[in-house]
Structure 1
Amino acid sequence: MAMRLVASGSTLVLNILLARQLGPDYYGQVAFVMAWLLLVVGLMRTGLNNQLTREVASYDERNERANLRGIIIRAYQFAVIATIGAGVSIAGAAIVLDSRLSPGQSRLFLIGLPLLLFLSLMSTTEAITKGFGKTVSGQLGEFFVRPISHLLFVVLLWLPIGFDLNRQSAVGAFVLSGLCGFAVAWMVRPRGPLQALRQAEPQFHDRQWLRDSVAISAVGWLSIVNVQATPILVGVIGGDAEVAHYQIASQFAFLASLMVVILNTLQAPAMSRAHAIGDVVRLQRMASHACEISVVFAFGSAIFFALFGELIATTLLGKSYNGVETVLFVILIGTSINALTGSVGILLIACRLENTMYLALGLALATNISGCILLVPKYGAIGGAWSATASLACWNGCMLLRLYRATGVLSLPLVTRLLPSSRPQPLP
C-alpha cells in the first residue's frame, strides 16, 4: 500500500509539473500519446500477468520444473513478439496519419515506442516474481521505481541546468522511467529458483495457456479499454487542450478513489474466506463497513474540491486551465458512485460470480463511448467526464444488482444499521 501511495503522489506531482510547464495544448498531446501507449501495453499484458503469476505459483508448489521453465520462456517470447508487432503497427499508423495529428505528434509516438518493450518486459518479470511468492519485490519496479524515476527525470529537465522540458523530452522521460523500472524488476527477480530451472527440459502447453489467458484477460481488456477510451476520445474529438483538462482532473480524482483501492486489497482475502465458510452475515458486515469508509473519503474529497477546486487549480496549474475544477467535480461524482457501492467487484469474485463483470464492463464501455461521441463535440472535457461518470454508474449498478439477486448481500453503506433484520441468502 505504501508503494501505491508513493506512486499516486509522484504521478500527481509529475502531471501538475508537466501541465503547468507545457501548457494545455502540448500537455494534451503528451497525455494523448501516453493514453494510446498505455492502452496497447494494457491490452498486451492485462490478464496475462495474473495467469502467469498463478501458473508459476502452481508449478512451483508442485515442483513441476519443466512446465515452469516452459511458461516462463513463452511469457518472454510473447512479450517481445507482441511488442514488435504493436510497435510496427503504431509507427505505421503514426506515419500514415501524420497529417491528421497535431504538428509533431507523430514524432511523439515514435519516441515513445521503446516504452512498450520496457513496460511489457517489466510486467512479465514482476508477474514471475510474484508467482514465486515475492509480492513486494514483484511490485517494486511498477509502483515505486518507475514513478519516482519519471518524476526525477522531469524535474531535471525542468531545472535551469542546460536541459529543456518540452513535448519530446517529456515522452523521453517516460521511456527512461520504464527502462529503470524494468532494470530494477530484473535485478530483484528470485535468481535462486530461476537458476534451478536451467537443467530442466521445458515443456509447453500452448493451447491450454492460450485458452486460459483469453478467459482471464477478457475482463482486463474491457476494463483497460474503458479507462483509456475517455482521454483518447476526448483527444480525437475535442482536441489537445480538452484532453489536457480531462487528464489533469482525473489525476486529482484518483486520490479520492484510492481509499476504495486500499480497502479492496485489504479485504479481498477476508471476503473470500467468509464466502468459503458460508458466513454471509460477516460478508454483509464487511461490505457495508467498506462502503461507509469509502463514502466518507470520496464525498469529503468531492465537497473539498467543490469549495476549493478553482483556487487549487489556479494556484497549481495557472489560468490556462480555467474550468478544470468543473471537470474534476464531475469525475468526483463518478468516484463517489464507485465508493457508494464499495467492494462490489471484489465480492463478485469472492462469491465466484465474476462472469457478471463481463456484461457490466461491456455495458459500461458502450455507455462511455456513446457518451463521448454525443457529449464531447459540444462540451469538451466536461462531456468526457460525464461519460466516464455514467460508465461508472452503469458498471457498479449492474454488479450491485447481480450480487444482491444471487446472494442477498447489499454492498451499500449503513445496510447493517438501517436494515438489521435483513439476512442475505445462502451463497452459491
Structure 2
Amino acid sequence: MNEGRFSRLVAMGRGDGLRAQLLRGGMGVGALKVLSLPLMLLATILLARSLGPEGFGQYAFVIALITTLSIPLAPALMQLTTRETAGMHQAGDDGRIRALLQWANRHVLLGSVLVTIVVGGAALWFAEWQVDDRWTLLLAGLIALPLLGLNAVRAGILAGLRRVVQGQFPDLFVRPLVLLVVAGSLLVAGSLNPLTAVVAFLVGLAMAFAVGVVLLKRTFPESEGASPARDAALNRQWLHAWMPFTVLVAASTLSTQSGILLLGWLSTDDQVAAMQVAERGAMLVALSLTVVNLVIGPHITQVHRSGDPLRLQALSRHSARMALVVALPIALPLIFFGGPILSVVFGAQYAEIATLPLAILAVGQLINVGFGSVGMLLTMSGFEHDTLLGQVVALLVSGVAAAILIPSLGAVGAALATAIGLIVWNVVLAVLVTRRLKMWPGPI
C-alpha cells in the first residue's frame, strides 16, 4: 500500500506538466525550508535566551529597521527580476536576462550608497557608541544593505529560471547556519551582546552572498562575448516597473514590521522581544504558503500569458490546498498551547509576555494561508497596482490600530493590529482577483 502511494508520488513528479512541476518545486523548496527551519529557530532561541528580553528587543528592532530600509533594494527587486526573468526565459532571450542582472546590481549599489549617506549621517550624529545603543547598532547594520539587495537580485534571477532551490539556498540555509555558528562562538567566548549579534548577522549575509555568486555563475554562466549593450528604453521600462513593486513590497513589509517598529518607539524593549518571538512562532503557520509562493510565482506569469484561465484556476486551487493542509496542524498547538511551548523553547520570561501575541498572530496567519496566493496571483499576472491597493488599505488599517492599541496593550496590541491588517489585505485582494482574473483564489 505504502509502496504504491510512493510509486504514484514519484510518477506525479516526472514530466513537464503543471502538477509535476509544482510537486518537484514544492518538494525541493519544502525540503530546504525544513532543513533551514531548525537553524533559524536555534539562532533565534540562542539570541533570545543569551541577550535577554531587553537586549534581544534592541537587536530585533534594528534588524527590523534595516529590513524596512532594504525594501526597494531587496524584496522589490527580487519580485521584479523574478517576473521579468520568467518572461524572457520563456522567450529564450538570455541576453536580456544578463542585461537585467547588470541593471539591478547597479541600482542596488547606488541605492545602498544613498540610504547609507542619509541614515548613516543621522546615526553618526545620535550614536552614543555603546553596545546596546540603537543608533550604534543601526550604523553597523547599514553594511547589510548592499548584501541584502545583491542576494535578492540573484535569488530573483534564479527563481525566474525555475531554479528556486538554488536561489533560496544561500538565504535559507547558509545565512542562518553562519549566524548560529558565529553567535554561538561569541557566546562561548563571553562576547555576545546586541552589537556583536548584529555583526554575526552581517557575517551570515556575507557568506550567503559568496555562495549565491557561485550558484548563479554555475546556473547562468556569463556570456563569452561582450557584455549586453544597455537598452535605454528597456532600462526605463524596468525602472517604471520597479516603483510599483517597491511601494507594493513596502506596504506588505510594513504591515508585518510596523508592530516591531512602533513598539520600538512607543513601548519597551521587552515588548519588542515578545512580538519578535511571537512572530517567529507564527511564521511556522505561514511556512507552507511561503514555499508555495516561491514555487508558483514564475508559473503564474507563464500560465497567465498563455491565456488559459482554467489552468490558472487549477494552479491556485492545488497550491492553496497544499498550503492549508500543512498549516493547520502547526497552527492549532500554537493557538491553544503556546504558553508551555514558549516556556520550554525560549524560557519562562518569554512565556509570560509572548503567549497571547503568539496565539493572535497564529490565528491571523492561518486565515492568511486559507485565502491562498492572492498577492502572487495579481502581481505575477501584471496587476501589481491592484495588489498595491490592497496593501495600502491593510497598512492604513493596521497602522491606525497599532497606534491606538500599542500604548496600552504593548505586544498584544501590536499582534492584534498585525492580524487585523493581514485579514483586511486578504479580503481586498481576493475581491480584486475575482475581478481581474475571473476566478476565486483559495482551496475551494
What does 1:82-161 align with in structure 2 at a 5 Å threshold?
Answer: 82-98=111-127, 104-130=133-159, 134-159=163-188
How big is the shift at 1:89?
2.0
2:132 touches 2:193 (CA, 8 Å); kept in 1?
A: no
What does 1:304-319 align with in structure 2 at a 5 Å threshold?
Answer: 304-319=333-348
How big is the shift at 1:239?
1.9
How big is the shift at 1:109?
1.2
Residue 418 (structure 2) pairs with residue 391 (structure 1):
no
Residues 110-140 of structure 1 show CA distances to partners (whole Å, capped at 9, x for unaligned) of: 2222211222232234444555664433333
User: Which segment drifts farther, 86-95 or 329-338?
Assistant: 86-95
User: Which segment drifts farther, 35-44 or 214-223?
Assistant: 214-223
Residue 220 (structure 2) pairs with residue 190 (structure 1):
no
1:380 pairs with 410, 421, 426, which one? 410
Pairwise CA RMSD = 3.1
Residues 204-233 of structure 1 show CA distances to partners (whole Å, capped at 9, x for unaligned) of: 424233123224433223222322222111
Equivalent in the alignment of 1:234? 263
Say if 1:352 and 1:69 are closer, same or farther in 2 by CA, change over 3 A. closer
2:374 touches 2:426 (CA, 8 Å); kept in 1?
A: yes
How big is the shift at 1:372?
0.9
What does 1:47-62 align with in structure 2 at a 5 Å threshold?
Answer: 47-55=76-84
Structure 1 length normalisation: TM-score?
Answer: 0.84
Equivalent in the alignment of 2:70? 41
1:140 aligned partner, one-letter code:
F
How big is the shift at 1:63?
5.3
2:55 touches 2:132 (CA, 8 Å); kept in 1?
A: no
Residues 177-209 of structure 1 show CA distances to partners (whole Å, capped at 9, x for unaligned) of: 011011111222326965425524632424233
Equivalent in the alignment of 1:202? 229
Equivalent in the alignment of 1:425? none
How big is the shift at 1:299?
4.1
How big is the shift at 1:78?
1.7
1:257 touches 1:298 (CA, 8 Å); kept in 2?
A: yes
User: 2: distance between equivalents of 1:267 and 1:298?
Assistant: 18
User: 2: distance between equivalents of 1:68 and 1:264?
Assistant: 22
How big is the shift at 1:234?
1.5
User: Which segment drifts farther, 247-256 or 289-298?
Assistant: 289-298
User: 2: distance between equivalents of 1:251 and 1:134?
Assistant: 27
* Gapped regions of structure 1 (runs ≥ 5): 416-428
2:154 touches 2:213 (CA, 8 Å); kept in 1?
A: yes
Equivalent in the alignment of 2:430? 400
Residues 82-122 of structure 1 show CA distances to partners (whole Å, capped at 9, x for unaligned) of: 112212222222234448x9952221112222211222232
2:207 pairs with 177, 180, 186, which one? 180
User: 2: distance between equivalents of 1:385 and 1:228?
Assistant: 11
1:241 aligned partner, one-letter code:
D
User: 2: distance between equivalents of 1:69 and 1:412?
Assistant: 35
Residues 321-340 of structure 1 show CA distances to partners (whole Å, capped at 9, x for unaligned) of: 21311110010121121122
Q: Secondary structure at the match of 1:18?
A: helix
Say if 1:325 and 1:74 are closer, same or farther in 2 by CA, change over 3 A. same
2:284 aligned partner, one-letter code:
L
* Gapped regions of structure 2 (runs ≥ 5): 1-28
Equivalent in the alignment of 1:359? 389
1:401 aligned partner, one-letter code:
V
Equivalent in the alignment of 2:7? none
Say if 1:81 and 1:158 are closer, same or farther in 2 by CA, change over 3 A. same
Equivalent in the alignment of 1:422? none
Residues 271-301 of structure 1 show CA distances to partners (whole Å, capped at 9, x for unaligned) of: 6777656554x76666556555544544433
Equivalent in the alignment of 2:9? none
2:198 pairs with 171, 193, 198, which one? 171
